[in-house]
Amino acid sequence: MNTMLAHNDQLHPADDSADYSRATVPQRADQYGRHSPLLEIGQLAVRMEHYTRGLHRQSLQVISDLSLRVNAGEMVAIVGASGSGKSLLAQAILGILPANAAVSGKMTYAGEPLTPERQARLRGTELAFVPQSVASLNPLMKAGKQVRLAFRSQPEERIPDDSRSQRASRRYLLSSSALKSWRARLKVKRQAGEAQQSVFARYGLDPRVDRQYPHELSGGMARRVLVASALVHEARLIVADEPTPGLDQEVITETLRHLRERAGAGAAVLLITHDIQAAIRYADRVVVLYAGTTVEAALSEDFTGAGERLRHPYTKALWRALPENGFVPLPGVQPHPAALPPGCLFAPRCSMASPECRLERPLLRSWRAGEVRCIHAT
């Protein structure tokens, strides 16, 4: 039975008919190795400032010391309970955190710092985002046009915009440059239409959806349009935040296969999901978050048997909580950002915790071809 991680580390079954095998989709292209990181994040921290009742200012550390990397040609899955910082991580990468967020740490893309200015320039072009909510669709624009505009936003497809006064002049209208610009615009418009039709067909969207507004679509259809808008162009980094809720099993499989194909073609794909089985069957590596920090990074192949190849007690507990692995419950709950314990964040729930665990937070270290944040790692 396949399973999905839900709120407070509990699990519920997913569809057994799902085709989650990486063997059924193209693998990483040979020219892209594990040692060519496209995105690197080191010691990322996010603090939220807000006001409580009585106008008391409160600061919450929602992400702390979060580190990971995504290589070109690789698909990395991010898993963790609700509230572990998965969606905030995606927003930090794209530079779309709310105004009350303070960010520190290091983020680099293609070897260069990922500054707010660079995030704004690359967002929607080299950086593609599949958000959780279908509310991200423009309610005043028809679905087909939104997908076509996403395709036409790519740098190689942009046509220099001639000045209004230049376009108005009779001399310009009769010039060869005007003719060239017009032909180029016509070509891009045709390519955008073809790309939109192709991605609609791939996700089973009826051609009539092209002329419908988001409010006229069902939840599943709107999500398919959202995914199509993000994957219609050839982005170098794709961040997919829970891209499949509300979709039928056939479309879920097609979406995950498409993401896997993009990784096989050389893109870096970051898949945020509650579905552990999808993570280990499609992704190359799995990064586990707990209470806003990285606790383990492991190869997908490490999730096997009774979890002997896993390193962190929390990761092992998640694996053993699956119905097919014994359905062993994990006592306690993930701490709230306003009540983080001293030392190791998982120590209050850990059967291996020692007095040293409560003194200081362990560092993320390399261990058995992976990474782990635990002094008792096995």
**Residue 139: exposure state from Cβ atoms within 10 A (0-12, 13-18, ≥19):** exposed
Stretch 94-118: mean pLDDT = 97
Q: What percent of the chain has pLDDT over 90?
A: 72
Where do runs of H (alpha helix) occur along the chain? 86-94, 116-122, 143-152, 164-168, 170-173, 176-202, 219-231, 249-264, 276-282, 313-320
**124 three-state secondary structure:** coil
Which pLDDT belongs to residue 40? 98
Report the largest interatomic distance among the alpha carbons of the chain, rounded to a whole angstrom.
Answer: 82
Tell me which amino acid residue 16 is: D
Q: Read off the pLDDT band of 108 (50, 70, 90).
A: very high
Tally Cβ neighbours within 10 Å of residue 75. Answer: 30
CB 134 within 8 A of CB 222: yes
CB 131 within 8 A of CB 198: no
Tally Cβ neighbours within 10 Å of residue 266. Answer: 17
**Gyration radius of the chain's alpha carbons:** 23
CB 270 within 8 A of CB 39: yes
Which pLDDT belongs to residue 35? 52
CA–CA dist 269, 333 (Å, integer)? 30
**From the candidate CATH numbers 3.40.50.300, 3.50.50.60, 3.30.70.20, 3.40.190.290, the one assigned to the domain spanning 3-48+59-126+235-372:** 3.40.50.300
Stretch 53-78: mean pLDDT = 94
42, two tokens: 């080191």
CB 38 within 8 A of CB 70: yes
pLDDT at 1 > cutoff 80? no
Domain boundaries, given as residue ranges, for the chain? 3-48+59-126+235-372, 142-233
Q: Read off the pLDDT band of 30 (50, 70, 90).
A: very low
